[in-house]
Amino acid sequence: MFHFGIHFPYLQAFLGVLTLYFWLTLERPALFWSGFFTALFWFWWIGLSFRYYDLAWMIPFVIVGVGLVYGLIFWLIGFLGHPVLRAAALGVMEWLHPMGFDWFRPALLFTGSIIGDDLWRLWIVLAALALFAAMRGRRRWFAPVLIIGALHLPQESPPPNLSVKPVQTSLNQRDKWDPRYLNLIIQTNVTSIKEAQREGYKAVVLPESAFPLYLNREPELVEELMDISRKITIVTGALYHEKGRSYNSTYLFQKGSLRVMHKVVLVPFGEEVPLPSWIGEWINDIFFKGASDYRTASEPSDFFMLGHKWRNAICYEATSDRLYEGDPEYMVAISNNAWFLPSIEPSLQRLLLQLQANRHETTIYHATNGPITAVISPH
């Protein structure tokens, strides 16, 4: 509903509860198809990125493959015949990451509804529904009363009064890496930075790979950005290359100096092949023209800006639990959603960021190429 701008917190909560109840009570064959079509409708967009590797023929296979993976998972849950056992399985599904993919979170059913999206609230709902399904007679109707303990009226906190401007761009993914457009993209980015400065902002955030090049190999451009950063702090995405290794990175230009922070959690089959190295190398050779996996930093990076400590996050990893260790108060997240347009991916990412903001009391400044650029406050 969020994708279409529909917001009915009570209806969303009811539909979420109904979905969980069906998962607890469906027969095993029906549960397989429920998992299959749930994944199909949530994640059909994953295959769209293969267009840019000249592998568009793989899109239907990827879509069906994702559906089959989750269909199999639900089918296996179906062997747990008792509703309480199924509830336990669904309650820990957040920690099940097929091929490193962690975007299936049942609690997301309740993000923005009158039931909170904390994990413990999900467990309360599952416990209430499991008891209702397992019990017989009139006493079973007391079980749903437990859901009252999971209620949460969302109240959006006002965004902090920080002078930070997240910039939204709208570059087509194919044009973004076309050398013919490189100078225009660079000049557009510089113009956006200077415009933010004229508007009185003290910091500006550009999207992931806003500069589609190895920025550390462009000394003149780096020098220009360092000079501008004496007047406004610049956070921007770009690639980094050193000693034969490539990184997806965030560049922080501040007071005439530069700091580079590398991504920690890579996109499965986008930036790394989450398989044993010999299989990964074979897949890279056959499907990705010999490109090697990106390298990563060992730990999330924090930095200071405008008197506050910030956590750095790049696209996919901004939804990962690992980036929220220590409950950072502020986060800069930069994304390139053009890989998956047109689709529901930006909306799903926005909901996942809201879920993490709610759970960790983190305010997220999210700059995107494509929708949805926003300042996300905890609810």
Q: What is the pLDDT of residue 236?
A: 98
pLDDT in tens, 41-94: 999 999 998 898 888 999 999 999 999 999 999 999 999 989 999 999 999 999
More confident residue, 7 or 193: 193
Give kind and range of the element (H or E) at residue 180: none
Q: In the numeric block, which tokens belong to residue 77?
A: 């849950």
pLDDT tops 90 at residue 282: no
Residue 315 known to be catalytic: yes
Map tokens 């109240």 to a residue: 155
Go through the domains of the chain in sequence order and give each one's CATH number. 2-150 (no CATH), 164-376 (3.60.110.10)
Catalytic residue of the set 165, 208, 271, 272? 208
What is the pLDDT confidence band of residue 26, given thresholds at 50, 70 and 90? Answer: very high
pTM across the whole model: 0.93
Establish whether 208 is a catalytic residue.
Answer: yes
- Between 105 and 292, residue with greater pLDDT: 105
Rounded Cα–Cα distance for residues 38 and 91 (Å): 17
For residue 286, is pLDDT > 60? Answer: no
Average pLDDT in the chain: 92
Structure tokens at 86: 């199924």
Cβ(360)–Cβ(324) below 8 Å: yes
Residue, of 280 and 241, whose pLDDT is higher: 241
Catalytic residue among 165, 176, 263, 317: 263
Question: Of residues 100 and 291, which shows the higher confidence score?
Answer: 100
Q: Which two tokens stand for residue 178?
A: 């076309």
Write down the pLDDT at residue 279: 58
Active site residue 361: no
Catalytic hit among 176, 315, 317, 345: 315
| Distance separating the N- and C-terminal Cα atoms of the chain | 18
Peptide bond into 372 cis (omega under 30): yes
pLDDT in tens, 259-270: 999 999 998 877
**Are the C-beta atoms of residues 318 and 335 closer than 8 Å to each other?**
yes
pLDDT at 284: 52
